[in-house]
């Protein structure tokens, strides 16, 4: 990068411009794989600073990479072509609630958990709840269109964003949407930008929609003797007339890893468990759970345990929260996918993953957001064993292809980033790919905004987990 650019960045950011290698290295990774060292990092604290940086980047054609808390599991914030990382994690000044309008306005670096807390203190709820909400930022959630366990009833991030402030690739500050749920003025740029992974514009403020906080919750754990029935029960529950607020599945391997890790008295022999939460009026909840119980009994559930106290309920949800830490401590590197399939195809996907486990001799754990078909097959991998890494790459490719064959998608919530870009065309087709590239070109003609993401690189045909 030209010395001139560094000098100009220094004038804007002073001590918030990081050039030392020790600092830059820590901006070279995310929750996925690969390490890429940026040439400079700037810790932005205002729209004006973003604007000035983008104008510089545009003039000197330097790549810029927005970055929140770097919990992305798809390589989203990685600075794959050098350039400047825009660190948003320090920009938390705005977190304003407008209870009468059911709105919150936020800066991009605000942690999702802080939005939840503020909304709840007004008896309201910001529904999207990625499991990483204690650490991830709203900017990252917006750029990835993050989901979470509550997605089954309440949808995902895009369903709760009604307005954005965005810095374009030319350094212009625009506003999309506004302060009203209804707004049909022109193209829906808000929806286009949500989930665009920082490749179309840089989000500097968001207006989020709130809903009333449900009065209470009730949780049950359904225990199954075979995985196929567990998969089938998901559609059965969702067509029972009751909409659970959360529905998470763990296969036997996940159950045992959590049990080894935390000793929670889980049924080790079960093929799968499903954790089901209903929320709403406290008088109605037992009746709703009863409807679900009858649906499950009709399909052949082994046992159903209903939480008898709030402590019981917390313990049941602890099981789900501990899956990732339990996997990480039990082996090597956790490679987590999020191929998503239509609800009726969940049993087929389970069957396929089991076949792949045997075919490639891999330690695959399956858990995830059962209620919206969003499974997280996670593979414990020794990244130093090239033969094992190749088998993992083959297995993941088969999972992706099968998800698409079943009418599903490569990614339900983690995004395409660098990890899935080689497969992008398989889902959207050649014409679909060309149209998406044309949108990128129109909005970022010099390809300075988060380059190397979403679109396959020249000749790239498959997933490569190691970039050494």
Ligand X SMILES: Cc1cc2nc3c(=O)[nH]c(=O)nc-3n(C[C@H](O)[C@H](O)[C@H](O)COP(=O)(O)OP(=O)(O)OC[C@H]3O[C@@H](n4cnc5c(N)ncnc54)[C@H](O)[C@@H]3O)c2cc1C
The interface region with ligand X, picked from 63-71, 176-184, 254-262, 305-313 by CB under 6 A, is 63-71
- Asked if residue 63 binds ligand X (CB under 6 A), the reply is no
CB 95 within 8 A of CB 184: no
Q: Provide the 3-class DSSP secondary structure of residue 108.
A: coil
Binder to ligand X among 136, 326, 356, 406 (CB under 6 A)?
136
Q: Compare residues 88 and 360 and give the one whose CB is closer to ligand X.
A: 88
* Rg for the chain, CA atoms, rounded: 22
Binder to ligand X among 28, 79, 83, 108 (CB under 6 A)?
108
CB 381, min distance to ligand X, A: 16
- Asked if residue 378 binds ligand X (CB under 6 A), the reply is no
- Asked if residue 248 binds ligand X (CB under 6 A), the reply is no
Binder to ligand X among 277, 393, 413, 427 (CB under 6 A)?
413
Residue with tokens 């959360």: 246
As a whole number of angstroms, the distance between CA 354 and CA 330 comes to 19
Binder to ligand X among 147, 177, 377, 452 (CB under 6 A)?
147
CB 157, min distance to ligand X, A: 8
CB 320, min distance to ligand X, A: 10
Q: With contacts defined by CB under 6 A, how many residues of the chain interact with ligand X? A: 36
Binder to ligand X among 40, 57, 64, 70 (CB under 6 A)?
70
Dump strand ranges (E) for 294-425: 303-306, 333-336, 363-369, 374-381
- Asked if residue 377 binds ligand X (CB under 6 A), the reply is no
Which residues within the stretch 253-312 sit at the binding site for ligand X (CB under 6 A)?
Answer: none
Q: Which two tokens stand for residue 392?
A: 């993992």
Residue whose CB is nearest to ligand X in the complex, by number: 140
What are the angstrom distances between the C-alpha of 149 and each of 126, 127, 152, 176? 13, 10, 7, 28
Q: Which two tokens stand for residue 371?
A: 């209620």
What are the angstrom distances between the C-alpha of 204 and each of 67, 291, 390, 403, 450? 12, 45, 40, 34, 15
Helices (H), 406-459: 424-443
Q: Compare residues 133 and 252 and give the one whose CB is closer to ligand X.
A: 133
Per DSSP bridges, beta strands 173-177 and 161-167 are antiparallel
- Asked if residue 414 binds ligand X (CB under 6 A), the reply is yes
Helix (H) or strand (E) holding 404: helix 386-405
Which are the contacts of 434, defined by CB distance < 8 A and separation ≥ 6? none
Q: Compare residues 152 and 296 and give the one whose CB is closer to ligand X.
A: 152
CA 462 from chain center: how many Å? Answer: 22
- Asked if residue 107 binds ligand X (CB under 6 A), the reply is no
- Asked if residue 69 binds ligand X (CB under 6 A), the reply is yes
Binder to ligand X among 42, 73, 218, 266 (CB under 6 A)?
73
As a whole number of angstroms, the distance between CA 105 and CA 205 comes to 7
The residue ranges that bind ligand X (CB under 6 A) are: 30-31, 65-73, 76-77, 88, 108, 130-132, 136-137, 139-141, 143-144, 146-148, 197-198, 202-203, 324, 413-414, 450
């Amino acid at each position: 990068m030209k010395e001139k650019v560094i000098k100009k960045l220094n004038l804007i950011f002073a001590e918030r411009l990081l050039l030392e290698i020790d600092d830059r290295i820590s901006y070279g990774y995310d929750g996925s794989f690969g390490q890429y060292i940026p040439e400079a990092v700037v810790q932005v604290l205002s729209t004006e600073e973003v604007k000035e940086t983008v104008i510089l980047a545009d003039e000197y054609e330097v790549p810029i990479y927005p970055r929140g808390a770097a919990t992305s599991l798809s390589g989203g914030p990685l600075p794959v072509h050098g350039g400047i990382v825009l660190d948003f994690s320090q920009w938390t000044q705005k977190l304003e609630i407008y209870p009468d309008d059911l709105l919150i306005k936020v800066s991009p670096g605000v942690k999702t958990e802080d939005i939840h807390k503020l909304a709840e203190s007004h008896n309201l709820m910001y529904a999207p709840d990625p499991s990483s909400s204690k650490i991830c930022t709203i900017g990252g959630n917006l750029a990835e269109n993050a989901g979470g366990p509550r997605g089954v009833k309440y949808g995902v991030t895009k369903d709760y964003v009604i307005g954005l402030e965005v810095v374009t690739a030319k350094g212009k500050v625009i506003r999309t949407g506004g302060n009203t749920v209804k707004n049909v003025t022109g193209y829906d740029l808000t929806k286009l930008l949500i989930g665009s992974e920082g490749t179309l514009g840089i989000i500097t403020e968001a207006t989020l929609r709130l809903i009333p906080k449900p009065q209470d919750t009730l949780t049950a754990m359904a225990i199954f003797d075979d995985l196929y029935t567990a998969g089938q029960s998901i559609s059965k529950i969702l067509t029972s007339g009751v909409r659970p607020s959360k529905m998470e599945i763990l296969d036997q391997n996940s159950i045992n890893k959590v049990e080894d890790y935390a000793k929670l008295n889980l049924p080790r022999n079960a093929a799968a468990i499903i954790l089901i939460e209903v929320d709403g009026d406290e008088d109605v909840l037992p009746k709703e759970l009863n409807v679900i119980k009858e649906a499950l009994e009709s399909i052949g559930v082994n046992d159903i345990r209903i939480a008898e106290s709030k402590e019981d309920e917390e313990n049941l949800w602890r099981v789900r929260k501990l899956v990732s830490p339990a996997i990480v401590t039990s082996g090597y590197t956790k490679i987590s996918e999020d191929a998503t399939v239509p609800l009726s195809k969940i049993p087929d996907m389970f069957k396929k993953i089991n076949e792949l486990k045997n075919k490639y001799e891999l330690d695959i754990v399956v858990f995830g957001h059962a209620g919206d078909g969003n499974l997280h097959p996670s593979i414990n991998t020794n990244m130093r064993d090239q033969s094992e890494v190749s088998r993992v790459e083959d297995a993941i490719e088969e999972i992706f292809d099968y998800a698409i064959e079943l009418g599903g998608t490569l990614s339900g919530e983690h995004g395409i980033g660098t990890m899935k870009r080689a497969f992008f065309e398989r889902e959207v087709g050649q014409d679909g790919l060309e149209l998406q590239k044309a949108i990128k070109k129109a909005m970022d003609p010099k390809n300075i905004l988060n380059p190397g993401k979403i679109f396959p690189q020249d000749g790239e045909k498959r997933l490569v987990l190691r970039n050494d």
